[in-house]
């Protein structure tokens, strides 16, 4: 693939802008066998995209046909492109990830589901529409683990009711936790396989308690990386994606 087309596919601007970045000396490519990135001023130069790495304006980038990311969502942020009150999580990402060309109905990377502005923790982002659908569909029962801080002391009755199922206002069918345990007097670890609106908060309210703090710590078999600080993101590896899928 031509270098200008590679940059375009990764969200660095129009093809004309990408050609200009190359011609102005802002792009270097990691060539096999060379430790340092090598400058390339030819926009039409062809490169094999398999495991390709390059630098744009001093920042290293891997070539990714589809982008898969994990973000440690901080409190006080909204999972919206057009936030109403709080800053958008998308401001935490570099411009190329937000500007990747449209694939199917997905322009740039999108959050897989949403977390409330006061909820923190693990959030996946991608420009792969099929992945978004698979992860969001309740039919696939992808488990999500939440660390819940509650207002009132927990007891065995509340834990048992969450496991047996509680009825929410908009659904006559009981909603059950896939797993639930009290890990402290005011701390609950809750695993859900659905994604209903404000589900954790409403389930806890249904057992006469109240959520005071909410953090998502795991999706599938992948835990939020311990070294990923609030507001930071990283690329997901093939091994990460296998863990998310439960493999």
- More confident: 144 or 171: 144
Question: Domain range spanning residue 97?
Answer: 68-139+230-244
pLDDT in tens, 36-70: 999 999 999 999 999 999 999 999 999 999 999 99
Same domain? 72 vs 180: no
Q: Which residue has the higher pLDDT, 195 or 193?
A: 193
Number of domains present in the structure of the chain? 3
Co-location of 115 and 234 in the same domain: yes
Here the tokens at position 220 are 């599938």
The CATH number of residue 166's host domain is: 3.30.70.1560
d(CA 246, CA 64): 23
Q: Which residues neighbour 88 within 8 Å (Cβ) at sequence distance 6 or greater?
A: 77, 78, 79, 80, 81, 82
**Residues 207 and 91 placed together within one structural domain of the fold:** no
**pLDDT greater than 90 at residue 25:** yes
pLDDT of 206 above 80: yes
The confidence score (pLDDT) of residue 139 equals: 77
Cα distance between the two ends of the chain = 33
Output the average pLDDT for the chain.
Answer: 94
For residue 151, pLDDT over 90 is answered with yes
Mean pLDDT of the 132-136 span: 89
Catalytic annotation, residues: 116
C-alpha span between 51 and 61 (Å, rounded): 11
- 1-10 pLDDT, tens digit per residue, is 999 999 999 9
Domain-terminating residue out of 62, 90, 107: 62
Q: Is residue 199 part of a domain?
A: yes
Both 149 and 215 in a single domain? yes
Predicted confidence (pLDDT) per residue in 77-120, tens digit: 999 999 999 999 999 999 999 999 987 778 899 999 999 999 99
Asked if residue 214 and residue 147 are part of one domain, the reply reads yes
Predicted pLDDT at 42: 97
């Amino acid at each position: 693939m031509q270098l200008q087309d590679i940059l375009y596919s990764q969200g660095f601007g129009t093809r004309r802008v990408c050609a200009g970045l190359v011609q102005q000396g802002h792009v270097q490519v990691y060539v096999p066998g060379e430790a340092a990135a090598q400058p390339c001023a030819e926009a039409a130069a062809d490169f094999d995209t398999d495991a390709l790495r390059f630098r744009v304006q001093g920042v290293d980038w891997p070539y990714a046909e589809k982008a898969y990311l994990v973000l440690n969502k901080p409190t006080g942020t909204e999972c919206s492109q057009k936030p109403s009150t709080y800053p958008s999580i998308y401001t935490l990402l570099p411009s190329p990830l937000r500007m990747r060309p449209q694939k199917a109905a997905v322009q740039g990377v999108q959050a897989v589901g949403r977390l409330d502005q006061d909820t923190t923790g693990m959030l996946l982002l991608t420009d792969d529409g099929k992945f978004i659908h698979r992860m969001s569909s309740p039919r696939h029962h992808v488990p999500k683990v939440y660390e819940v801080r509650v207002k009132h002391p927990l007891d065995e009755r509340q834990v048992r009711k969450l496991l047996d199922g509680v009825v929410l206002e908009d659904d006559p069918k009981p909603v059950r936790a896939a797993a639930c345990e009290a890990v402290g007097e005011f701390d609950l670890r809750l695993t859900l396989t659905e994604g209903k609106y404000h589900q954790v908060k409403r389930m806890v309210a249904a057992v006469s308690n109240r959520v005071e703090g909410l953090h998502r710590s795991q999706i599938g078999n992948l835990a939020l990386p311990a070294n990923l600080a609030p507001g930071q993101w990283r690329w997901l590896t093939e091994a990460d994606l296998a863990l998310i899928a439960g493999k």
